[in-house]
Structures are given as C-alpha cells and as structure tokens.
Amino acid sequence: MITTFFGQDGLGSSAALVLSLLLGFGFGFALEQAGFGSSRRLAGIFYFRDMTVLRVMFTAMVTAMLGLQLALALGVLSAEQIYFLPTIYGAQIVGGLLFGVGFVMSSWCPGTAAVGLASGRLDALIFLGGAALGSILFNEFYGIVGPLATWGDSGVKFMWAALGVSGPVFALLFSAVAVAAFWGSEWIEKKVAGAGPYLGSPFLKAFSVTILVGALAVALLPPATPSTTATAPAALSEIGMLQAMEAGDDHIDPDALADRLMAGDASLLLVDIRTPAEFAAAHIRGAVNVAAADLPEFLEPRKNKGTVVLYSNWMTHPAQARDALARMGFANTYLLTDGLEGFMQQVLKPVSLRSTPLAEVQAVKVNAWRTFFLGGPQTHAAKTMNAPSDTPRLVETSWLQENLGRMVLRMIDLRLQPAYNGGHIPGSVRMDPEHFRGAVGGVSSMLLPADLIALHLGLLGITPQTTVVLVPTDKLQDATLVGMALERIGHMRYAILNGGWEQWAAEKRPADTLLPAITATEYPMATGADAFTVDYQEVLAHSQNRSAVLLDVRPGDFFSGKKSDEARAGHIPGAVNRSFILDVSTNNAVFRFKPLSELAEAYAKLIPSKDSPVVVSCRTGHQASQTYFVLRHLLGYRRVSWYDGGWAEWASRPELPVETGGG
C-alpha cells in the first residue's frame, strides 16, 4: 500500500519539496528530449506540419493513465491517496479556450517555456514574463474574474463515470483513440509537410500493439477491491451504503473514538453537528462545530482523507448527514455509535456508577478517559476557543470562513433588515449600530452606558467567551462604533470583517436566510473598561495646553467652517484635520481599510510618536470611532482617546472657543 505525500497531508514538507524538484527535473528533461525547447516545433501542431506535441502528449497521458489504473486495480494505491482535480465546467472551458489562444500566439506553454529558456530562447523568457504578468492581472482583477474560476464547480467528476463504464475500460478506449491519432498525425504530416517519419514503420506498429495490449490487460484485470477502483472517489452505490450499514462499517464506537482522540490522532476530525448553543454548553473535547448544511463545503479539503466522525446527541441526524455525504463521494465519514449520549455512558460515566462492574484494566482506562475529556485545563469549550490575542482585530473573509464552526463565533450583521433577511453569513444576527446610542445627559447620539450595552449583548446570546465578528457594509464606521460599545464593557474578543458583506457575497461564500438559534444570557459586565472616552472639559484642557493632538476626522469643509450642520461652524482650536474617508478604499462597492503601510505613513505625518496623546473627534463620535480603530488597533498608537460628544456638543456650548479656516 502506497502512502503519498498528499495522503499524509505532507506536500509542504521539506522532503516533498526536494522530491518535487527531482520530479521537475525529470519533467524538464523529458520535455527537452521531446524537442519542446523550440517554439517553432511547438507551433507545428497548429499548422499540421509537425505533430510532435500530439504524439508526446497522448503517449504520456496513456502511459500515466494505464499506470495509475493498474496501481488502483492491484490495490497498491487507494484513491484517497491521490488529489483528483475538481471539475469546474465554466472555468475549465473558458480558461482552456483563452489558454489555447495564448498558446498559439506565443507558441509556448508554461512547462515548455521553462525548457525553452534553458535552451537559450529569448521568446521563452518573454513568454514567462508575460505569464507572470497575466497571473498578477488575475489577482488584481480577482474581484471581477474570481467568480469565473469557480463557475460551474461540480466537485470530482470522472469521464468514465459519465459514460457508465469503469476507469480501466475508459482507459482502453482512450488508448485506442490515441493510437488512431498517432497514425492520423503521421498521415496528415506527410500530406502537409512531406514528413510523417513513422508512418507505417515497424516501430509505430510495434508501439501501437504494445499500448493496446497493455490497455487491454489493465481493463481485463479483476479489480482487487472494487471500492478502490470503481467507486471510491465517486459516489458510493446505495447497495454499498446498505451493506456498510449492516456490517456496522459506518460507525465508530465511543471507546475507539476516545482512544484515538487521546492519542492525538491527527488524521481524525470530530464534527459536532448540533446547534452552536448546544455546542457551547458542552461538547467532546477536540470537536469542531459545523452546521449539517455546511458539511460538504467544510469537509471538502478532507474528502477521502483521514477519518471524519460526525455526532449529535443521538444518531439520526448524523446518519442522514453521513448518507448525504456518501452520495457526494465522501467515503471517509463515520457516525459515533449512540451519539453524545453513548459517549457519556460508555466513556465518561464514573466507574462507581456503572451497573456492571468493570475489570480493573477497563476501570483504569475509564479513569484516564475521564481525566482527558473532563479534567485538565481544557474543559468543554476551552479547546476550540482562541485566546483573545489570537484573534486579529481585522479579519479577512477567508479567515472567517475557515473559523465558522471552529470557534464560538457570533457575527453581527450591520446592514438594513431587508438586506439581512435576503441572505447573510450563517449564524449572523442583525443589529443597527444606532441601538447602542442615545441621548445621554442631554447630549444626542452618545454611546450608551455600559449596563445598557451589556443588556443588548446578553439578548444576542453573547457571552464573554464569544468572539464577535462585525460585518459592515459600505460604512466601516458602523462596525467600529459597535467596536467602541464592545470595548466599553471590556469585550475585547471582537474583530471586524474587512470588505464586509459585499466582499463575502462577491466571493460567493456560504450564506443563508435562517435565524440563528440564540439563547439570551446575562452578560457579566466588567466595569471600568472604558478608559478611552473623554468629555469636553478634558478636550478643552488639551486645546488650551496643546497637550494632545486633537484630530478632527470630519470632511475638510466642515472642519474649516465652510459648511455646517451645527450651532456654530468651525473646529476646536488647535485641532488638525484628516477625513476618516481617506482611510478607506472602495472597489466595486467593497469597502476595505487601506493597506497598513499607507495608513501608517499618513498618520506618522500628523502624530509625533506612538506614545503621543491623541483625541479623535467628529460630529457625533461615529466617524471618529473608525479613526480610533485605525490608530489604536491597526497602527498601534497607545494613547488614543475618543471625544464622543464631538462637534455637535462643542458647538452647542457657547462658552467653548471656536476656530475656523484651515483644513
């Protein structure tokens, strides 16, 4: 039985890299020997004057194809050891057409251009530069062309399965077509260019016979284990599923699971398909939480690799999920016998409470299980939760998708209600950022006191262990304002999704229209967490003493006093201006924070050092929350304060001084 690097998830290992280099060496050697270091020769196939490309390519495909089918039929290789490319109809057809045009224009393709360069061909170097540029263009326009690369994604699909024959039989047909193509190519080359060197030669006759006999032998060979050749990567047959069920092959017993988990078996993935609330209450140590509907996507990287065990309280739901997955070609999913309940009874129940006495060896084992699964520093939720410091303050869509179900996550969607109802990230709740503000002490639009914020979060089922991901739309300041609310009660386990909903949707990531199952809790509020909010008296003192950088983030015309929505026009004396809008980039309605390097450079011009006191303000504190987030969390300024009252309050207090102009 062969174990490949892919099969043991080791393609990134140093050994795999060295072997890749060696295999690449063989690849380049063979290409050059075939004459593919010459673009003129490669172009020949498109003008029927030199059909070498066809001969080499089809011979190589037939050789590797028969070898692969033989290895599978003999049982020395199982299908899960191979990474089978997915079929993505749109991407492969459109990409193939475009690639063909590029191929005939340049008369190079990436592999042959490498040996062309090695042979001193200047046009190969130009091609390679162009290909790198083309890749960069793909990345730059990924927002537009990215969906094309996944258009028509249909998973692993084999041509032989579509035709209703076995792999070896299809390989035989393919070999016959290849042999016909060899003869045809010799004939056409003779007609067009007077060449066709092997037409009717003893060599080609012998070669053709060898291929056909070899292909026939592979096709007639009885498959060693039917499941590895004909069915493993494709869907299991219904009969096969029933047989597996009858034999109990689709189950894993609680004690076997417990032993493998304790041994730290990395090939094992335990998936809890219950609701996040149930998962948060208690789960088997080491499990990840994934909704049943998200399983195919979540498990795709693990398809037919290692062991995946599904569980819920009992067995019905995991059994249904497993059968659905098996029909999609996942041959490596198992159920936990008797579910979580069975695990509790068989693994976790104390020896003293068991109805039948246990042998001493078994009792020792149960105690070891209990220590591992119940005791120690990692009790129920701890293992799957990242420490706050592990959670980046600004996360990308890929991070979020990867962590959906792995952590105790709660997304707060900040769009309008109809937009949320039309589709949202699974597990999101919708909230209006204005829910966290109100008139406080006569000043409008102030962030609510900590106890009211805690009450709101409790209603959303958020506990201090929840990692909150804020999902903005076109206003990043909506997310940062809610961030201020979270920070006021000391909830630092939060992140903002860069690019927000628009980017998530543009990348066609999972979405649903379901309301999440939420159990309201009482959020234990921490007092004294808010050391960053300052009032007008502190700001006045800074203004008079010039003891802090007063950063007004309103648009320039409001700063200078040209425009005004408030009692008086202008700004706090001594303040400097940088509009919050300048920190955001827009591309196709996706709003993202600008690259850190750009932000760092801009603020370095306004603020002397990372330890300089800074007070950010705007009209009502909303826009300033965004600049606060940028300075405090993205750029690491340590002494940033937030004047929530802002210009709305300052302008309404006639005793406070006002400056105009500048900006």
Partner 1 sequence: MNSNSNLPSTGPKPHMNPYLAGVLLGLVLLASFLILGVGLGASAGIARVGAFAQSCIMPQHVADSAYFGAWGKDPLRYYLVFMFVGTLLGGLVSAIMGRRVQPQLERGPTASRGRRIVMALAGGVLAGFASRVASGCTSGQALTGGAMLVTGSLLFLGAMFAGGYAVAWFVRRQWQ
| Distance of closest approach, residue 89 Cβ to partner 1, in angstroms | 6
Q: How many residues bind partner 1 (CB under 8 A)?
A: 141
| Distance of closest approach, residue 153 Cβ to partner 1, in angstroms | 9
Q: Kindly state whether residue 63 participates in binding partner 1, applying the rule CB under 8 A.
A: yes
* SS (HEC) of 60-93: HHHHHHHHHHHHHHHCCCCHHHCCCCCCEHHHHH
Cα–Cα distance measured from residue 555 to residue 582, given in angstroms and rounded to the nearest whole number: 9
Burial class (CB in 10 A: 0-12, 13-18, 19+), 26: exposed
Q: Kindly state whether residue 604 participates in binding partner 1, applying the rule CB under 8 A.
A: no
Site string for partner 1, 380-419 (x = CB under 8 A): ----------------x-x---------------------
Cα–Cα distance measured from residue 640 to residue 606, given in angstroms and rounded to the nearest whole number: 13
For partner 1, the closer of residues 498 and 543 by Cβ is 498
* Span 623-652, contacts to partner 1 by CB under 8 A: none
Cα–Cα distance measured from residue 293 to residue 275, given in angstroms and rounded to the nearest whole number: 12
Q: Kindly state whether residue 213 participates in binding partner 1, applying the rule CB under 8 A.
A: no
| Distance of closest approach, residue 386 Cβ to partner 1, in angstroms | 19
What the block records as the tokens of 608 is 């002397």
- Per CB under 8 A, the list member of 176, 188, 195, 262 interacting with partner 1 is 195
Q: Kindly state whether residue 367 participates in binding partner 1, applying the rule CB under 8 A.
A: no
| Distance of closest approach, residue 590 Cβ to partner 1, in angstroms | 10
The answer to whether 256 and 212 have CB atoms below 8 angstroms apart is: no
Cα–Cα distance measured from residue 383 to residue 373, given in angstroms and rounded to the nearest whole number: 11
The answer to whether 204 and 183 have CB atoms below 8 angstroms apart is: yes
Q: Kindly state whether residue 209 participates in binding partner 1, applying the rule CB under 8 A.
A: no
For partner 1, the closer of residues 45 and 309 by Cβ is 45
Task: Enumerate residues 6+ apart whose C-beta is below 8 A from 630.
Answer: 583, 593, 599, 603
Q: Kindly state whether residue 175 participates in binding partner 1, applying the rule CB under 8 A.
A: no
For partner 1, the closer of residues 187 and 198 by Cβ is 198
Residue among 256, 259, 287, 251 nearest 272 (CA): 287
| Distance of closest approach, residue 330 Cβ to partner 1, in angstroms | 18
For partner 1, the closer of residues 46 and 371 by Cβ is 46
What the block records as the tokens of 356 is 């039948």
| Distance of closest approach, residue 189 Cβ to partner 1, in angstroms | 11
* Span 450-479, contacts to partner 1 by CB under 8 A: none
Instruction: Give the binding range for partner 1 (CB under 8 A) out of 76-84, 383-391, 479-487, 565-573.
Output: 76-84
Q: Kindly state whether residue 104 participates in binding partner 1, applying the rule CB under 8 A.
A: yes
Q: Is the Cα dihedral 192, 196, 197, 202 positive or negative?
A: negative
| Distance of closest approach, residue 424 Cβ to partner 1, in angstroms | 20
Task: Enumerate residues 6+ apart whose C-beta is below 8 A from 412.
Answer: 428, 429, 430, 431, 460, 468, 469, 470, 471, 482
Q: Kindly state whether residue 184 participates in binding partner 1, applying the rule CB under 8 A.
A: no
Q: Kindly state whether residue 167 participates in binding partner 1, applying the rule CB under 8 A.
A: yes
How far is residue 157 from each of residues 27, 189, 227, 256, measured CA to CA in Å? 26, 35, 16, 34
Query: In this structure, what DSSP letter does residue 569 have?
Result: -
Cα–Cα distance measured from residue 448 to residue 58, given in angstroms and rounded to the nearest whole number: 71
For partner 1, the closer of residues 568 and 594 by Cβ is 594
- Per CB under 8 A, the list member of 75, 100, 226, 422 interacting with partner 1 is 100
What's the gap between Cα 184 and its chain centre?
A: 47
For partner 1, the closer of residues 98 and 517 by Cβ is 98
For partner 1, the closer of residues 58 and 330 by Cβ is 58
Cα–Cα distance measured from residue 570 to residue 561, given in angstroms and rounded to the nearest whole number: 4
Cα–Cα distance measured from residue 508 to residue 504, given in angstroms and rounded to the nearest whole number: 6
| Distance of closest approach, residue 580 Cβ to partner 1, in angstroms | 19
* Span 526-545, contacts to partner 1 by CB under 8 A: none
* Span 9-48, contacts to partner 1 by CB under 8 A: 11-12, 16-35, 37-40, 43, 46-47
The answer to whether 553 and 580 have CB atoms below 8 angstroms apart is: yes
Cα–Cα distance measured from residue 57 to residue 44, given in angstroms and rounded to the nearest whole number: 14
- Per CB under 8 A, the list member of 73, 204, 280, 630 interacting with partner 1 is 204
* Span 111-150, contacts to partner 1 by CB under 8 A: 111-124, 126-140, 142-143, 145-146, 148-149
Instruction: Give the binding range for partner 1 (CB under 8 A) out of 87-95, 220-228, 349-357, 555-563.
Output: 87-95
Task: Enumerate residues 6+ apart whose C-beta is below 8 A from 96.
Answer: none
Q: Kindly state whether residue 362 participates in binding partner 1, applying the rule CB under 8 A.
A: no
* Span 584-603, contacts to partner 1 by CB under 8 A: 592, 595-598
- Reduced to 3 states (helix: H, G, I; strand: E, B; else coil), residue 269 is strand
For partner 1, the closer of residues 591 and 643 by Cβ is 591
